[in-house]
């Protein structure tokens, strides 16, 4: 090989290595953090739903904590990260959490499914968790979601937003997503307005189903929850939540020494429906 061809080959080789490095870097989990102080991670519900709607909570707590949120692998910001077939999605999510969180014990806030995921993480990595606040948590036995389709709020106001001409189109797909989100609100108009920030890119229905199936194969027991009681600072509920009363009954029974707070006039999104009371309880729970 002459020197000119050798130089071209060398350049191509260097470019190839550089490109491979960029690909590896692009597979890192995207995390959004605000503020300074103790690390506090917001674990989103769903499962397989975007975390972007948790930004108001970040803003409320950022004066006292370094508040971070992340979309799970396969969802939202991290939708393009590969999902392995040889291990469970839940295992991959818990491993991702362990990799992005600092070594020092962190505070965890988990909403709905995110509460279960926080408990799963604490069960696997107890030394990595300082305290947990459970928000509108799904109970570990999943009793609270058995009749979820019946318990959700079906708002005629929302359904009227779809015209006959839009049926079978992408408009209908987005309407169904927004309608489902709104069905977790007491107030139809508030729920519909809130859902305007979401589209099909903010959720992954395939992963949603898969994660529930995986969890059912190896669920947390009430004994597991009791063993984590010293890590749980508080549990916050909405009286009109679609998970009520089963989630409150099971957690209050399993965790008698933990503080259980009930907010009236809200369903599943207390920071939107009753923000003043919710943020006061949240600050208090993490201060405790």
Angle between helix 205-217 and 89-100 (nearest 10) = 100
Q: For position 175, what pLDDT does the model report?
A: 80
Angle between helix 89-100 and 113-124 (nearest 10) = 70
Residue 268, Cα to own-chain centre: how many angstroms?
Answer: 13
pLDDT in tens, 150-197: 999 988 877 777 677 667 777 778 888 888 999 999 999 999 999 999
Q: For position 177, what pLDDT does the model report?
A: 87
**How much is the average pLDDT of 208-222?**
96
Q: Is the pTM of this model over 0.85?
A: yes
pLDDT in tens, 254-286: 999 999 999 999 999 999 999 999 999 999 999
DSSP three-state, residue 43: strand
Phi, psi of 75 (to 5 degrees): -135, 140
- Homologous superfamily (CATH) for 29-287: Alpha/Beta hydrolase fold, catalytic domain (3.40.50.1820)
Looking at the chain, list the stretches that DSSP marks H as alpha helix, in order from N- to C-terminal side.
Answer: 3-26, 55-61, 89-100, 113-124, 148-151, 156-159, 170-182, 188-194, 205-217, 222-227, 246-254, 270-273, 275-287
The answer to whether the bond into 47 is cis (omega within 30° of 0) is yes
Task: Answer yes or no: is pLDDT of 1 > 80.
Answer: no
Which region, left, alpha or beta, applies to residue 46 given φ > 0 means left and ψ of -120 to 50 means alpha?
A: left
Phi, psi of 204 (to 5 degrees): -135, 100
Q: For position 166, what pLDDT does the model report?
A: 67
Q: d(Cα 288, Cα 285) in Å, to the nearest integer?
A: 5
| Strands 259-263 vs 106-111: parallel, antiparallel or unpaired | unpaired
Q: For position 22, what pLDDT does the model report?
A: 29
Task: Answer yes or no: is pLDDT of 98 > 70.
Answer: yes
Task: List the chain domain ranges.
Answer: 29-287
Neighbour tally for 212: CB within 10 Å: 16
Task: Answer yes or no: is pLDDT of 20 > 80.
Answer: no
Q: d(Cα 125, Cα 103) in Å, to the nearest integer?
A: 11
Task: Answer yes or no: is pLDDT of 86 > 60.
Answer: yes
Task: Answer yes or no: is pLDDT of 78 > 80.
Answer: yes
Task: Answer yes or no: is pLDDT of 233 > 90.
Answer: yes
Q: d(Cα 258, Cα 119) in Å, to the nearest integer?
A: 14
């Amino acid at each position: 090989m002459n020197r000119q061809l050798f130089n071209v080959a060398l350049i191509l080789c260097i470019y190839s290595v550089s490109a491979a490095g960029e690909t590896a870097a692009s597979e890192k989990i995207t995390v959004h953090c605000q503020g300074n102080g103790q690390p506090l991670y917001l674990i989103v519900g769903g499962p397989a739903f975007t975390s972007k709607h948790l930004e108001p909570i970040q803003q409320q707590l950022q004066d006292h904590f370094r508040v971070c949120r992340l979309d799970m692998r396969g969802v939202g910001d991290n939708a393009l990260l590969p999902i392995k077939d040889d291990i469970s999605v839940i295992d991959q999510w818990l491993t991702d959490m362990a990799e992005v969180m600092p070594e020092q014990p962190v505070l965890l806030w988990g909403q709905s499914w995110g509460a279960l995921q926080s408990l799963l993480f604490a069960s696997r990595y107890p030394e990595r968790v300082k305290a947990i606040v459970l928000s509108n948590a799904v109970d570990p036995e999943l009793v609270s979601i058995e009749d979820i389709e019946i318990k959700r709020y079906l708002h005629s106001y929302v359904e009227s937003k779809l015209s006959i001409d839009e049926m079978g189109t992408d408009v209908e797909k987005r309407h169904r997503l927004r309608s489902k989100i709104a069905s977790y609100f007491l107030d139809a108009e508030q729920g519909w307005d809130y859902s305007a920030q979401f589209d099909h890119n903010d959720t992954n229905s395939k992963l949603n189903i898969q994660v529930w199936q995986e969890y059912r194969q190896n669920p947390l027991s009430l004994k597991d929850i009791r063993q984590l009681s010293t890590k749980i600072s508080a549990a916050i509920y909405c009286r009109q939540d679609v998970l009520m009363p089963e989630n409150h009954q099971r957690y209050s029974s399993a965790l008698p020494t933990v503080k259980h707070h009930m907010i009236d006039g809200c369903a599943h999104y207390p920071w939107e429906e009753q923000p003043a009371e919710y943020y006061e309880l949240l600050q208090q729970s993490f201060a405790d």
